[in-house]
Amino acid sequence: RGGQAQREIPFAQPGSLTKVYAVASGKGGVGKSSVTVNLALAMAAQGLKVGVVDADIYGHSVPAMLGVADERPTQVEDLIMPVPTPSGVSVISIGMLKPRRDQVVAWRGPMLDRALVQMLADVYWGDLDALLLDLPPGTGDIAISLGQHLPGAEVVVVTTPQEAAAEVAERAGTMASMMHQRVVGVVENMSYLPCPHCGPEHRLEVFGSGGGDRVATTLSQRFGYDVPVLGRIPLDTALREGGDIGRPIVEADPTSVAAEELNRVAGTLT
């Protein structure tokens, strides 16, 4: 929008009533997007108005997980309308800003910054109770931009129990804190596999153990405030399937341990 003043980000205004949560991780594949969409749906089921920003430049898998893989946002004058999902949340994805779906997002800092601001300021979100952002893994440009534009965002760090994942997750959390964002807690995903043979009380520690506690303890010590483990989500085929078919597990299999744990985490955030 050449020459025109940039629209302000409503969530950055003093008095904004929208809680903003950025979901971060140290590396990819730990379930950050799965956690984001399930928390969003769990909050919506509590009656909240929820928006989701998919800012993961590498994955942008959120629309598919929410059942709107092929939808594009519409435009009303110079405002972008977010895509409504079957479960009643609104979503915008960095993938939707690309001219073609199969294109890669080969953008650098300034372009990424613009894309992020566009998703926050040029999208008509209406009055949201909560906005969840799925960040790219790591400590890159998007995380820095978000910290600059929305220092009030609270950060949820997702890790697996694995040592290597926890170490990089700590870095993602530390970076958020350097951007003056508060880290509200850690979600340990893929915590264990309830044994399919001898019964669910026998837990197979597929990715080891201790990652969630390690990140929570390190960040608590580093920041001088309590960073709790908010929840431990087991490995569950239904969780993966729910993502694949666009029907997250909190909706598709709400009585599963994974769904109950995700609902509980959502409850502690709202």
Smaller CB separation from ligand ADP, 83 or 157: 157
Please answer whether residues 166 and 195 qualify as being in contact, where contact means their C-beta atoms are separated by less than 8 angstroms: no
Kindly tell me which of 226 and 241 has the beta carbon lying closer to ligand ADP: 241
Shortest gap between Cβ of 56 and ligand ADP (angstroms)? 6
214 vs 232 by CB, closer to ligand ADP: 232
Nearer to ligand ADP, 31 or 147 (CB): 31
Cα–Cα dist 140/133, whole Å: 15
Question: CA 29 from chain center: how many Å?
Answer: 13
Is 33 labelled a binding residue? Answer: yes
Strands 229-233, 19-25: pairing is unpaired
Helix axes 257-269, 32-45, angle to 10 degrees: 70
Smallest distance, ligand ADP to C-beta of residue 76, A: 31
- Evaluate whether 60 touches 102 at the Cβ level (below 8 Å): no
**Tokens 């079957």 -> residue:** 86
Measured from the CB of residue 72, what is the shortest distance to ligand ADP in angstroms?
21
Smallest distance from the beta carbon of 41 to ligand ADP, in angstroms?
14
Q: Which residues contribute to the site for ligand ADP (CB under 6 A)?
A: 25, 28-34, 59, 61, 189-190, 233, 235-236, 239-240, 243, 258
User: Does residue 173 have a known ligand-binding role?
Assistant: no
Report in angstroms how near the CB of residue 239 gets to ligand ADP at its nearest: 4
Q: Is 231 annotated as a binding residue?
A: no
The nearest distance, CB 23 to ligand ADP, in angstroms, is 8
Residue 206 marked ligand-binding = no
Does the annotation list 27 as a binding residue?
yes
CB of 171 to ligand ADP, least distance (A): 15
Nearer CB in complex with ligand ADP: 59/67: 59
Distance (Å) of CA 248 to CA 12, 28, 84, 202, 240: 29, 19, 15, 25, 9
* CA proximity to 89, closest of 261, 246, 199, 229: 246
Q: Rounded to an integer, what distance in angstroms lies between the CA atom of residue 94 and that of residue 82?
A: 12
Is 30 annotated in a binding site? The answer is yes
Question: Is 26 part of any known ligand binding site?
Answer: yes
Both tokens assigned to 215: 């990140």
Residue with Cβ nearer ligand ADP (25 or 93): 25
Q: Is 28 annotated as contributing to ligand binding?
A: yes
Beta-sheet strands, E only, within 175-252: 182-189, 193-195, 199-204, 229-233
| Residue nearer to ligand ADP on the CB measure, 90 or 160 | 160
Query: What burial letters (b/e) apply to 78-115, b meaning 16+ CB within 10 Å?
Result: eebebbebebebbbbbbbbbbeeeeeebebeeeebbeb
- Per the annotation, binding residues are 26-33
Pick out the residues of the known binding site for ATP: 26-33
